[in-house]
Structure 1
């Protein structure tokens, strides 16, 4: 009984002690172009390779009816945006879509997220917008090399973020014309890719890329299905360490009028975090939510 109470008190103290966000090491973090993703991931097991091929077949063929509906919605949205904006405004706007690659996205959610991103990227680029597609996860479970280094150094208390980040560029905003994402998105469907999610640092990364862009109008849309989670980090720093940092990052970006930040939650309420937000209760509604969000933020009305 005493030990249980002591451990709970220690966790509360850990949460309080970790109020200031920190990172134990960035030495093992990776930012990679999607075309080189295989270089940083372990070879697929036979079962995972089969699952990936099945997912890709579904992506290319079995979503035809869903894609038809989504493309019609996008076509209608394209007309609305073209009527409400000038060619100069569109050419002076960059849109970045940041996709959560947490383990809970595995299955239908990531499949439809990939298809939604492809459709959104296609109609935005045809309108003349610059478009960037990014993903975020971790390289390994249980903290990876960062945690092993922490242990070798004596496991100091409150180490800060304690995992190896993996940030992926599926399409750079430097690219022009139709997206031709094709097989670039296939690796997004890998079961072994989807692990933990450190949203705050992913947002900082995506925003930093936008801040370097010359376009006057910058929009960042986050697509996620839940709060940030990394067991290695939370175990050593307290349960609120990552969500508190995410709130801080969101507040900082929203206070800076250089970027319009918005979020789409998949069966997750994001209104307590993001000023501009939409929620879908089922992954199959994702494309409609994305087109609604893009119409709202590009035309300048509030998301409903």
Structure 2
């Protein structure tokens, strides 16, 4: 067993233990942890509170605080009442939800001293991490951080994080007059959620207005210092626009196809003469593409996502080590044990150290394959924003990107289906629709030149049915034709493959089973395939799967998960 396997097992064990603690404390056996989120059955328990956001490699002593906080909240918070008062503004929503988590934490009974200690340790852990990451160096960061410290201290009756007590003093003094009444109400009404809500809303709206004004002032300055901006705006990535708390995360269904098995897993196509590959942008008026582009630009701007930081995080995720190689004879680094004798014989010698060679970034190709079936229409705008933003960031980070799509040319089979019926309805005919594969952006075309063509994803009359397996096969072939050392394919879909004519003539899981066969082949060819489920878990179909809930905008939990998926297996 390798050290990395040990680490993975330990990490899984840590999470299992934390989920078990939450189940016990909340007296609810349906609670579990999946993809760095707690769930009650299929209902997400994720909190907007930044201090409760899980990291990929969370230590048990700090993860316990998250688990305990969620369990306490299940006991002391009326979620229906809370949801009915959530503000529309993303930042106000974050602060309001954060204050509810802090309220319930403050209600932890004295009979649970261990839980109290875990909660305090978690908040101080977050405080240290936020401060040491440099986020308190900007006006925006220090404002949000100070409000968090003031509210936590008032509710818990505990001192603020000692290391930053002097740092926040000026900001605390400047906002105390505006927040004073609401702050007093937090402690006074913490046992009554209905009475507490107006105070929390008042603070949330004050913070949102202050941040909006700060962003407007910064925009007027129009600076180009990307790295400084990235550091200053890092807190924006903590905004949780996840709408998943209002609905269940479903799982894509999959089962064995009797027809596929009877045919010895040989996929059949009844008639492929009508299949085609198109460039959707060619069928959209340039003026309409420009209008779409402007709409997406406005949506992206409204998210307040610090683009330079996003690029930096992606670049780091794509880096790969050279291996066990060292730079010798260095004046700083790690002591080279082989040269310790020289320290005695030549006291003035300084080149006694070694350093690991820096990480390098292999050329990476990332392809997004979009399911353009009819049910995806409702997600088209947010989906376009997500793909556009990620493509731009990936290219800025040094990766090559491609945006592809797949659908059919007709509903209910089209010409192949009619021909099958006219020729006697041969049993188990295989695929019975006209496949249409789409190229929105080619790998050798930069985002700068293709960003309007990507907007053709908003042409809703292009969305029909979906035959996933052939599309994955096609996208894999395109990736393999590229010279990159690493190839990643993200299949974006809201469910299992669906073509009504093919399903009726074969069975419900015929094209589903073909997809699973193709996924295995793609992985064997060295393509890293990941399913991105829009509002559902594609884990039944894809070995690696992410969940993106797009109902209220771009899900920043998903951005974190996406960046983590770029890391893959470090070798």
Structure 2 length normalisation: TM-score?
0.44
Shift of 1:103: 0.4
Please name the residue that 1:69 is paired with: 303
Tell me how many residue pairs correspond in the alignment.
Answer: 274
Shift of 1:263: 1.4
Please name the residue that 2:535 is paired with: 267
- Secondary structure at 1:208's aligned position in 2? helix
Change (3 A) 1:151 1:214: same
Please name the residue that 1:225 is paired with: 494
Instruction: After TM superposition, list the pairs within 5 Å mapping 1:176-187 onto structure 2.
Output: 176=446, 178-182=448-452, 184-187=453-456
Contact 1:21-1:245 within 8 A present in 2 as well: yes
Change (3 A) 1:114 1:143: same
Matched, 1:170 2:403: no
- Tell me, in whole angstroms, the C-alpha distance in 1 between the residues paired with 2:362 and 2:522: 23
- Tell me, in whole angstroms, the C-alpha distance in 1 between the residues paired with 2:396 and 2:370: 21
Shift of 1:90: 4.6
In our comparison, the structure showing a higher alpha carbon Rg is 2
Matched, 1:243 2:520: no
Matched, 1:26 2:272: yes
- Secondary structure at 1:220's aligned position in 2? strand
Contact 2:260-2:513 within 8 A present in 1 as well: no
Q: Deviations over 1:226-247 (max 9, x none)?
A: 1100000000001110111111
Matched, 1:159 2:405: no
Please name the residue that 1:118 is paired with: 388
Please name the residue that 2:377 is paired with: 106
Contact 1:24-1:162 within 8 A present in 2 as well: yes
Bigger relative contact order, structure 1 or 2, given CA contacts below 8 A and separation 6+? 1
Matched, 1:296 2:564: yes
- Tell me, in whole angstroms, the C-alpha distance in 1 between the residues paired with 2:315 and 2:514: 37
- Tell me, in whole angstroms, the C-alpha distance in 1 between the residues paired with 2:429 and 2:517: 19
Q: Could you tell me which of 477, 485, 489 is aligned with 1:216? A: 485
Instruction: After TM superposition, list the pairs within 5 Å mapping 1:251-262 onto structure 2.
Output: 251-256=520-525, 258-262=526-530
User: Greater CA deviation, 221-230 or 169-178?
Assistant: 169-178
Please name the residue that 1:138 is paired with: 408
Matched, 1:60 2:328: no
Structure 2: any 5+ residue segments left out of the alignment?
1-256, 321-357
Structure 1: any 5+ residue segments left out of the alignment?
1-11, 39-43, 45-51
Shift of 1:190: 2.3
Q: Deviations over 1:95-148 (max 9, x none)?
A: 1001110100112x0111111111111111122211100011000111111112
Contact 1:116-1:287 within 8 A present in 2 as well: no
- Tell me, in whole angstroms, the C-alpha distance in 2 between the residues paired with 1:235 and 1:96: 32
- Tell me, in whole angstroms, the C-alpha distance in 2 between the residues paired with 1:151 and 1:273: 31
- Secondary structure at 2:308's aligned position in 1? helix
Please name the residue that 2:315 is paired with: 82
Shift of 1:33: 2.0
Please name the residue that 2:182 is paired with: none
Shift of 1:157: 1.1
- Tell me, in whole angstroms, the C-alpha distance in 1 between the residues paired with 2:391 and 2:555: 12
- Tell me, in whole angstroms, the C-alpha distance in 2 between the residues paired with 1:60 and 1:259: 34
- Secondary structure at 2:461's aligned position in 1? coil
Q: Deviations over 1:254-295 (max 9, x none)?
A: 233x21111110112111221221113344454535533442
Contact 2:366-2:487 within 8 A present in 1 as well: yes
Q: Could you tell me which of 81, 94, 101 is aligned with 2:365? A: 94
- Tell me, in whole angstroms, the C-alpha distance in 2 between the residues paired with 1:195 and 1:177: 26
- Tell me, in whole angstroms, the C-alpha distance in 1 between the residues paired with 2:413 and 2:402: 28
- Tell me, in whole angstroms, the C-alpha distance in 1 between the residues paired with 2:558 and 2:569: 14
- Tell me, in whole angstroms, the C-alpha distance in 2 between the residues paired with 1:170 and 1:282: 21
Shift of 1:154: 2.1
- Secondary structure at 1:247's aligned position in 2? helix
Change (3 A) 1:254 1:65: same
Please name the residue that 1:8 is paired with: none
Structure 1 length normalisation: TM-score?
0.79
Q: Could you tell me which of 21, 35, 38 is aligned with 2:281? A: 35
After superposition, the CA RMSD in angstroms is 3.0
